[in-house]
């Protein structure tokens, strides 16, 4: 959803300041809501029904957080354009999968679930839970409990069936109570109503907010219109008394599939957004997954970037709030392989939105013969599944550097802040950094071009030693200091200049990681993983290999541990055999198993030597600072097993 007049820092719980919303449907394309004010608006995700779509929404539901081995997943990563994300299915109660919630919250975006009733069965459900105060309060309380338990931020209420006179009279009471309870129990919580039922109980989509449906709008946080509106609807609503002062809470529905008598859609979705912005409303963009469902899936990244580039000038920039240390590898939460420090760690496709890092701004510009374009690239990655690739041409007649903004965020700076970038550049070009800093006392923004620190500088030496970075093949580590900058970092840009004069220079630059940390804290933390335990153990007979030697069994088990979440980016899970059935055979080497995005992980069908045996599981924290903890600070637990188990 896009809300008018929103710009600057945004964080979870501040969606009412204006922004955008997106809708994701489990069996259909994602929905998005967009607000359009006098200043560039922004869209946010919200769930809407879409029965004819085919998105693989079940990707990423192993334990709700471990992802899948999906080769061509649907993913969303343009979070900086939205403020609200709503996950939608045609089940009565839809809980957003953990990966989508985690990715949204990491980018400061609110995530909503869906409560929907439909057809004859839906009417019966409504009659039952709206029959009296005790019943509707019980349903509302349960929705609040679900929301609180699973960590998302509220609900889209979608009643797609007729209501009796008594039920429609009770519905505003239910909505008011649910909204009050969400506000009380969920920080920044939100309840939205979809344009469907009217005050008589009839199912009559209005395509606007008017006297027939205002009673629902007045008791919740926002109203999501149906899609068959025209500009006359917007003009009328602008003067409607119920809207005055709440224009940003009216989300005008935009169907990207362009079904029915609608404005724009597909690669002309910018047209309805321009109209919505003109009248200062918010927008709900429904089903941007159109680019996945109707286009070549192998070109998904290209098509999704093309779609959002059409809207970018209409959407104000969303700057999520973060603290030091901060890091991003630009990973989109999926890839052809899993990389770790420039090397392939696991060579197979994967998808896990919980692993998605803060996303960069993508650019595409042309000036004369020169051009510059950025995109995510799944090859030659530093960490995760993708790096940020900038490509372009510096023509002979161009003087100076080519600049590209890569990150927009809100990070309060220390008195001395270390900014480090891991990159790989083509021959013939040089790379430097530039940043903008907001000074709240004077409410000014200044541009800072820090000098690159030499390799032998004490700060650089300490940082690379703590991170274990020494002569990384093909990758370069660049460090700069932002000193005496009272305020918050807003933007990080890279400048690319050619080394030779007066000749056309084609270039490529891969950014693998950006890290920000307090320069006064260049030391390993004392924290270690505590309480690693193994439980819910299930053994499967047989082997992952029919001719394995020695014989093997398959281990399934859950790991849980404790570590300060503010320190860790993710965790690497390892195992090793300490003793097998033959005591004469020495223990095995440490083997990487997988990554975990939280303090809970499920081992599935790990082939280990047949019993009796003893194995050890180790969990390594990967710190946001990039520092490498010694094995003595990892978590470790042993599992002894015998033939009787």
**Tokens 């459900």 — which residue?**
125
For residue 72, what pLDDT is reported?
87
| d(C-alpha 153, C-alpha 140), whole Å | 14
Contact 375, 299 (CB under 8 A): no
Residue 526: Cβ within 10 Å count: 6
Instruction: Report strand pairing: 28-34 vs 282-286.
Output: antiparallel
Alpha helix segments (H runs only) across 456-573: 458-467
Instruction: Work out the burial of residue 456: count CB atoms within 10 Å of its CB; fewer than 13 is exposed, 13-18 middle, 19 or more buried.
Output: exposed
Per-chain mean pLDDT for the chain: 88
Q: Tell me how long the chain is.
A: 645
For residue 400, what pLDDT is reported?
86
The residues that bridge with 407 in the sheet, in sequence order, are: 492
Nearest to 1 by CA among 49, 36, 27, 25: 36
| d(C-alpha 444, C-alpha 466), whole Å | 35
| d(C-alpha 621, C-alpha 635), whole Å | 9
| d(C-alpha 375, C-alpha 484), whole Å | 33
| d(C-alpha 17, C-alpha 27), whole Å | 31
Nearest to 27 by CA among 61, 58, 60, 3: 58
Instruction: Evaluate if residue 284 carries a pLDDT over 50.
Output: yes
Contact 420, 512 (CB under 8 A): no
For residue 542, what pLDDT is reported?
66
| d(C-alpha 234, C-alpha 218), whole Å | 19
**Tokens 């009217």 — which residue?**
198
Per residue in 457-515, pLDDT tens? 999 999 999 999 877 788 999 999 998 778 999 999 999 999 988 889 999 999 999 99
Confidence of residue 576 (pLDDT cuts 50, 70, 90): very high
Nearest to 29 by CA among 80, 86, 103, 68: 86
| d(C-alpha 172, C-alpha 572), whole Å | 49
Is this structure's pTM higher than 0.85?
yes
CA 155 to chain centre: 19
Residue 181's φ and ψ, nearest 5 degrees, are -70, -40
CA 469 to chain centre: 28
Confidence of residue 40 (pLDDT cuts 50, 70, 90): very low
For residue 52, what pLDDT is reported?
29
Exposure on the CB side of residue 639, measured as CA atoms within 13 A: 26
Instruction: Evaluate if residue 356 carries a pLDDT over 90.
Output: yes
């Amino acid at each position: 959803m896009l809300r008018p007049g929103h710009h600057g820092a945004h964080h979870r719980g501040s969606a009412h300041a204006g922004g955008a919303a997106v809708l994701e449907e489990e069996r259909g394309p994602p929905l998005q809501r967009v607000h359009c004010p006098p200043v560039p608006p922004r869209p946010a995700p919200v769930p809407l029904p879409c029965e004819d779509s085919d998105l693989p929404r079940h990707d990423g539901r192993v334990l709700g957080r471990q992802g899948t081995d999906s080769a061509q997943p649907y993913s969303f990563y343009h979070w900086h354009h939205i403020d609200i994300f709503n996950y939608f299915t045609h089940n009565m109660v839809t809980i957003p999968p953990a990966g989508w919630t985690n990715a949204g919250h990491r980018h400061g975006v609110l995530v909503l679930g869906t409560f929907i009733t439909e057809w004859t069965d839906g009417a019966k459900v409504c009659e039952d839970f709206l029959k009296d105060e005790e019943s509707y309060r019980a349903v509302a309380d349960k929705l609040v409990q679900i929301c609180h338990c699973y960590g998302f931020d509220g609900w889209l209420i979608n009643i797609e069936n007729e209501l009796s006179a008594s039920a429609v009279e009770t519905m505003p009471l239910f909505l008011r109570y649910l909204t009050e309870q969400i506000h009380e129990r969920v920080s920044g919580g939100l309840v939205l109503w979809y344009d469907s039922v009217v005050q008589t109980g009839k199912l009559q989509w209005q395509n606007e907010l008017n006297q027939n449906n205002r009673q629902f709008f007045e008791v919740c946080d926002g109203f999501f219109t149906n899609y068959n509106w025209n500009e006359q609807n917007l003009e009328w609503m602008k003067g409607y008394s119920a809207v005055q002062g709440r224009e940003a809470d009216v989300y005008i529905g935009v169907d990207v599939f362009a079904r029915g008598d609608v404005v724009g859609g597909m690669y002309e979705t910018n047209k309805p957004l321009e109209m919505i912005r003109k009248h200062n409303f918010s927008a709900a963009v429904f089903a941007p997954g159109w680019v996945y469902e109707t286009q070549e899936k192998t070109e998904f990244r290209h098509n999704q970037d093309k779609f959002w580039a059409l809207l970018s000038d209409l959407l104000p920039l969303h700057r999520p709030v973060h603290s030091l240390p901060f890091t991003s590898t630009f990973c989109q939460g999926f890839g052809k392989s899993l990389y770790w420090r420039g090397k392939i760690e696991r060579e197979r496709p994967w998808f896990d939105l919980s692993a998605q890092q803060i996303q960069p701004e993508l650019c595409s510009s042309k000036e004369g013969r020169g051009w510059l374009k950025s995109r995510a690239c799944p090859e030659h990655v530093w960490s995760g599944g993708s790096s940020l690739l900038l490509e372009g041409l510096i023509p002979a007649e161009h003087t100076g550097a080519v600049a590209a903004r890569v990150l927009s965020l809100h990070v309060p700076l220390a008195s001395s802040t270390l900014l480090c970038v891991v990159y790989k550049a083509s021959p013939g070009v040089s790379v430097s950094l530039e940043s903008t800093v907001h000074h709240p006392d004077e409410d000014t923004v200044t541009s800072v071009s820090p000098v690159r620190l030499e390799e032998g500088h004490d700060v650089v030496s300490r940082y690379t030693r703590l991170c274990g970075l020494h002569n990384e093949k093909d990758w370069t580590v660049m460090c700069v200091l932002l000193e005496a900058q009272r305020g918050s970092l807003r933007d990080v840009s890279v400048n690319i200049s050619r080394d030779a004069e007066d000749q056309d220079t084609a270039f490529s630059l891969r950014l693998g990681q950006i890290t920000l940390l307090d320069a006064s804290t260049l030391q390993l933390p004392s924290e270690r993983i505590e309480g690693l335990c193994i439980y819910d153990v299930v053994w499967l007979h047989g082997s992952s290999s029919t001719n394995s030697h020695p014989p093997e069994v398959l281990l399934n088990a859950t790991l849980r541990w404790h570590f300060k979440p503010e320190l860790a980016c993710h965790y690497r899970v390892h195992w090793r055999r300490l003793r097998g059935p033959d005591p004469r055979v020495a223990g095995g080497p440490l083997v990487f198993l997988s990554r975990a995005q939280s303090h809970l992980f499920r081992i599935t069908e790990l082939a280990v030597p047949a019993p009796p045996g003893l194995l050890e599981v180790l969990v390594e924290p990967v710190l946001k600072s990039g520092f490498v903890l010694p094995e003595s600070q990892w978590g470790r637990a042993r599992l002894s097993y015998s033939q009787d188990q």
